[in-house]
């Protein structure tokens, strides 16, 4: 019996402590945007339903993940992680399995 799995990756914040104008999740580590690593980890763990919450520099984040097949969720105001998950709840309304929450 297979289990229904979904992951929500939080990628809406500004990353102000990075002291950069670029969104934190778009900074590169080993030649790849930071956001690729939690996405890859979720896929390797068997999560197929992937939702990425975007806000700050949302267009650039979408462009970075254009070919990834994820569902994007908009968080127009960055009001914290709880609010980000609340924003994702609409796209998960029909979901009743295991949810993994990851920071981008």
Q: How far apart are CA 36 and CA 97, in angstroms?
A: 24
Q: Give yes or no: 49 in active site.
A: no
Burial class (CB in 10 A: 0-12, 13-18, 19+), 67: exposed
pLDDT tens sequence for the chain (104 residues): 357 999 999 999 877 777 778 888 999 999 999 999 999 999 999 998 999 999 999 999 999 999 889 999 999 998 999 999 999 999 999 999 999 999 98
What structural domains does the chain harbor?
A: 5-103 (3.90.550.10)
- Which position among 17, 22, 32, 49 bears the catalytic label? 17
């Amino acid at each position: 019996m297979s289990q229904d799995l979904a992951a929500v990756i939080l990628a809406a914040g500004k990353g102000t402590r990075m002291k950069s104008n670029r969104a934190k999740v778009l900074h590169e580590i080993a030649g790849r945007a930071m956001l690729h690593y939690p996405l890859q980890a979720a896929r390797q763990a068997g999560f197929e339903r992937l939702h990425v919450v975007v806000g700050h520099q949302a267009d650039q984040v979408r462009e970075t993940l254009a070919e990834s097949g994820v569902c994007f969720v908009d968080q127009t105001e960055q009001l914290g992680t709880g609010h980000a998950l609340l924003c994702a709840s609409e796209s998960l309304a029909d979901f009743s399995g295991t949810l993994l929450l990851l920071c981008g």
